[in-house]
Amino acid sequence: MDSGWHRISKETVFKTSIFNLLREDSRNLRTGAEQSFFYFECIDWINVVAITTENEIILIEQYRHGSDRIELEIPGGGLDPADPDPVFGGARELMEETGYQGEDGRIIGQVCPNPAIQGNTCYTVLFENCKKISEPQMEETESINTVLLPLDQLDHLIDSGKIRHGLVLNALSFYERSLREAE
């Protein structure tokens, strides 16, 4: 399918260490109307669903500036340019944030977080039989608390709104789907 748009110009408006803001001026090929579009150029992300040998899910609590509150999430972060693939990146994030290491790492889903304003991919990586092998190795700007939760309590935290991060809920949906497919 043709996009229906002709790009007239594209420029980086603002750069940060996390994202760049771009402006693209385009013309609609159907109507001739011109429009400026602003969108974020972001690195790819990884969300990690990590299950312990005791059938617990590894969650993290951390303050989020956007929501101005401590959020209950799963481990995750940006795919580092040195990471050869999302599974490696997921293992790295899991270790850095929690000190846990898992087995059988695999991608169980991927989404475009918000295609209207972002073009990156968020991968969901599953690790099973996770064990704590070290203390977390957080970055200087991270303050994270690790929480182990029996899997049978996960629905309650979702229903009560204690887990409310959209991409985390998406990752947990991929996990539920992977369990159904394994049956």
123 forms bridges with which residues in the sheet? Answer: 46, 110
Task: Please list the alpha-helical segments (H only) found in the chain.
Answer: 86-98, 154-159, 166-182
Is 82 exposed, middle or buried, given 0-12, 13-18 or 19+ CB atoms closer than 10 A? exposed
Looking at residue 182, its pLDDT comes to: 82
Tokens representing 14 are 């603002």
Instruction: Output the CA torsion sign for 83, 89, 91, 95.
Output: positive
How many residues are given for the chain?
A: 183
Dihedrals φ, ψ of 124, to 5°? Answer: -105, 120
Q: Is the pLDDT of residue 3 over 90?
A: no
Q: Is the pLDDT of residue 14 over 80?
A: yes
Find where tokens 């799963």 sit.
Answer: 74
Give residue limits of the domains in the chain.
Answer: 5-42, 45-182
Q: What is the pLDDT of residues 58-100, one digit of tens each?
A: 999 999 999 999 999 999 999 999 999 999 999 999 999 999 9
Distance separating alpha carbons of residues 33 and 81, to the nearest angstrom: 38
Q: Is the pLDDT of residue 35 over 70?
A: yes
Q: Is the pLDDT of residue 32 over 80?
A: yes
Q: What is the pLDDT of residues 120-172, one digit of tens each?
A: 999 999 999 999 999 999 889 899 999 999 999 999 999 999 999 999 999 99
Residue 99 region by backbone torsions, left for phi larger than 0, else alpha for psi between -120 and 50, else beta: left
Q: Is the pLDDT of residue 183 over 90?
A: no
Looking at residue 121, its pLDDT comes to: 97
Tokens representing 142 are 């991270």
1: confidence class by pLDDT, cuts 50, 70, 90: low
Distance separating alpha carbons of residues 46 and 97, to the nearest angstrom: 13
Q: Please answer whether residues 56 and 151 qualify as being in contact, where contact means their C-beta atoms are separated by less than 8 angstroms.
A: yes
Which residues are CB-contacts of 102 (< 8 A; sequence separation ≥ 6)? 50, 51, 91, 94, 127, 128, 129, 130, 131
Looking at residue 52, its pLDDT comes to: 98
Domain 45-182 superfamily per CATH: Nucleoside Triphosphate Pyrophosphohydrolase (3.90.79.10)
Q: What is the CA radius of gyration of the chain?
A: 19
Looking at residue 9, its pLDDT comes to: 97
Arithmetic mean of pLDDT, 92-112: 97
